Structure 1
Amino acid sequence: MRALLTALTLSFFLLPSSSDAATLRCGTALASDGASKSEVLMKCGEPLSKDTRTESVGEKTKQKGPEADTTQERIVYKTIEEWTYNFGPRQLMQVVVFENGRLVDVRSGGYGR
């Protein structure tokens, strides 16, 4: 019984974590978190569609001064691109999201055509 409990405990730590790692499989090639757009193009080819938008995000920074701490806020602009891949009627379409040219997310869509 004790050996079973130990084995179960160890196997729990060996399971992959449920982090939100973005990975796109294109045949035998994999494109993972942080891949550039050119890397994804080389591994997966041209997508069915590309959509681009710009988002603005407020970013706060604290600075220590001689008399008081100050907080400054600045606007940071990010370029978001979503590429849609259609791998055929028996596979789910994949939406690949790039932020400032780097892969950050992969979502499944409906079945392709």
Structure 2
Amino acid sequence: MQKCGEPVARGSYCKPEHEKTACQPIDEWTYNPGPGQFMTTLQFKNGALVSIKYGDRVK
């Protein structure tokens, strides 16, 4: 967060890893890096970054 600043949106949900296991909390932070860049969503599990997804280009 020091490098990217505050996210424009934050969310949390529970995702089961397997059919018989308890759900794992997932946190999502979405960033708007500015015009010409892609919206970026970071996913965290247990405080560790597990996924980076890029969305539409910001106009």
- What are structure 1's unaligned runs of at least 5 residues? 1-40, 60-73
Q: What TM-score does the superposition give when structure 2 sets the normalisation length?
A: 0.81
* Larger fraction in strand: 2
CA distance in 2, matches of 1:86, 1:57: 29
- What are structure 2's unaligned runs of at least 5 residues? none
- Residue identity (%): 37
CA distance in 2, matches of 1:90, 1:58: 39
3-state DSSP of counterpart to 1:75: coil
Quote how far apart the aligned CAs of 1:97 are. 0.9
The RMSD of aligned alpha carbons is 1.7
Q: 1:83 aligns with which of 9, 25, 29?
A: 29
Quote how far apart the aligned CAs of 1:77 are. 2.5
Q: Which amino acid aligns with 1:44?
A: C
Partner residue in 1 for 2:39: 93
CA distance in 2, matches of 1:98, 1:43: 16
Q: What TM-score does the superposition give when structure 1 sets the normalisation length?
A: 0.46
Partner residue in 1 for 2:2: 42
What is the 5 A alignment of 1:62-77? 74-77=20-23
Quote how far apart the aligned CAs of 1:56 are. 2.1
Q: Which amino acid aligns with 2:21?
A: I
Q: 1:102 aligns with which of 41, 48, 56?
A: 48
CA distance in 1, matches of 2:28, 2:46: 11
